[in-house]
C-alpha cells in the first residue's frame, strides 16, 4: 500500500505562521490587511492564487510572495505544531505502507518542518509547490510522487483535509480519505469522497484494517 499525506490541516497546524506571514506581507507592501477568516478559507491553494483571490494586483504578487516567504521561513518551526495524533498516524502507517507527502507548501520548508518534528525519515517522497507546474487540485503533484515510488500492484490512497486533496486524488485515479482536522468541513468533503474520518490516525487505522 502507498499512502500520500497532505500537510496543512492533515498532519500539521501552521495557521498561526501563515496568518502572521500574510499580515506582515500586507503591512510591508502598504496594503490593507485581510481578515483571518478570509485567509483561512483559502489555505490549501498556492500562494499566488491566495493573494489573487484577496484582490492583490497581479503585478505585485511575486514581490509580496517573496516577503511572505522570508517571514514564514523565520517563524515556521516555532509557530507550527503537529496536529494531535499526527505523529502516531505517520508511525503506524509506516508499519504497513510506503509513505509520501504531497503539499502545496514549498517543499524545502516542508522538509525542514518534518525534520524538526523528527518524522521526515518515514517518508520516501515529498512533493512541494516548486516541484510541479500545476498544484492540487491538478493530478500532477500526486503523479509526480508516484513516479518516484514502486506502485506495481499497490493500493494507493491520498489523505487530506480539503477538497483540493480529494479532487487531486480523483484526477489521479487513486483512493482518498477526507479528514476533519483541518480547513474543510464534512459537507464539503462528502462531495468528493466516501470516506471521512476525524483525523490522520483514524485514517491510518482504517487503512491498516483494510490491509489485514
On whether both 142 and 54 belong to a single domain, the answer is no
Give the start-end residues of each E strand in 48-195. Answer: 81-82, 98-102, 123-127, 156-160, 175-179
Q: Are 204 and 92 in contact, with CB atoms under 8 Å apart? A: yes
Q: Which of 76, 96, 114 is the last residue of a domain?
A: 76
Query: For residue range 119-174, what is the model confidence (pLDDT) as tens digits?
Result: 999 999 999 999 999 999 999 999 999 999 999 999 999 999 999 999 999 999 99
pLDDT, residue 211, reads 79
Parallel/antiparallel/unpaired status of strands 12-13 and 2-5? unpaired
Mean pLDDT of the chain: 96
pLDDT, residue 116, reads 95
Element (H, E) at 196: strand 196-197
pLDDT, residue 84, reads 96
pLDDT, residue 34, reads 95
- Structurally, the chain folds into a number of domains equal to 2
Q: Are 123 and 101 in contact, with CB atoms under 8 Å apart? A: yes
On whether both 70 and 107 belong to a single domain, the answer is no
User: Cα–Cα distance between 152 and 157 in angstroms, integer?
Assistant: 14
Per-residue pLDDT 10s for the chain (212 aa) are 999 999 999 999 999 999 999 999 999 999 999 999 999 999 989 999 999 999 999 999 999 999 999 999 999 999 999 999 999 999 999 999 999 999 999 999 999 999 999 999 999 999 999 999 999 999 999 999 999 999 999 999 999 999 999 999 999 999 999 999 999 999 999 999 999 999 999 999 999 998 77
pTM over 0.85: yes
Q: Which of 76, 100, 118 is the last residue of a domain?
A: 76
Residue range of the domain that includes 66: 14-76
Q: Which of 76, 107, 128 is the last residue of a domain?
A: 76
Residue labelled with grid coordinates 510572495: 65
Amino acid at each position: 500500500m502507498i499512502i500520500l499525506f497532505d500537510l496543512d490541516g492533515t498532519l500539521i497546524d501552521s495557521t498561526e505562521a501563515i496568518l502572521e506571514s500574510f499580515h506582515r506581507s500586507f503591512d510591508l507592501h502598504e496594503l490593507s490587511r485581510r481578515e483571518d477568516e478570509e485567509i483561512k478559507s483559502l489555505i490549501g491553494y498556492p500562494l499566488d492564487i491566495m493573494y489573487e483571490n484577496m484582490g492583490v494586483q497581479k503585478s505585485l504578487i511575486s514581490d509580496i510572495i517573496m516577503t511572505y516567504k522570508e517571514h514564514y521561513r523565520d517563524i515556521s518551526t516555532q509557530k507550527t505544531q503537529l496536529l494531535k495524533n499526527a505523529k502516531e498516524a505517520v508511525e503506524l502507517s509506516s508499519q504497513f505502507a510506503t509513505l509520501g507527502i504531497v503539499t502545496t507548501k514549498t517543499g524545502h520548508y516542508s522538509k525542514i518542518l518534518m525534520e524538526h518534528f523528527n518524522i521526515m525519515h518515514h517518508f520516501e517522497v515529498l512533493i512541494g509547490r516548486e516541484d510541479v507546474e500545476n498544484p492540487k487540485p491538478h493530478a500532477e503533484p500526486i503523479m509526480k510522487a508516484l513516479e518516484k515510488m514502486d506502485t506495481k500492484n499497490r493500493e494507493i490512497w491520498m489523505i487530506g483535509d480539503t477538497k483540493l486533496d480529494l479532487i487531486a486524488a480523483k484526477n489521479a485515479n487513486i483512493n482518498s480519505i477526507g479528514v476533519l482536522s483541518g480547513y474543510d468541513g464534512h459537507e464539503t468533503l462528502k462531495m468528493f469522497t466516501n470516506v471521512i474520518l476525524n483525523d490522520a490516525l483514524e485514517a491510518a487505522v482504517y487503512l491498516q484494517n483494510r490491509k489485514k
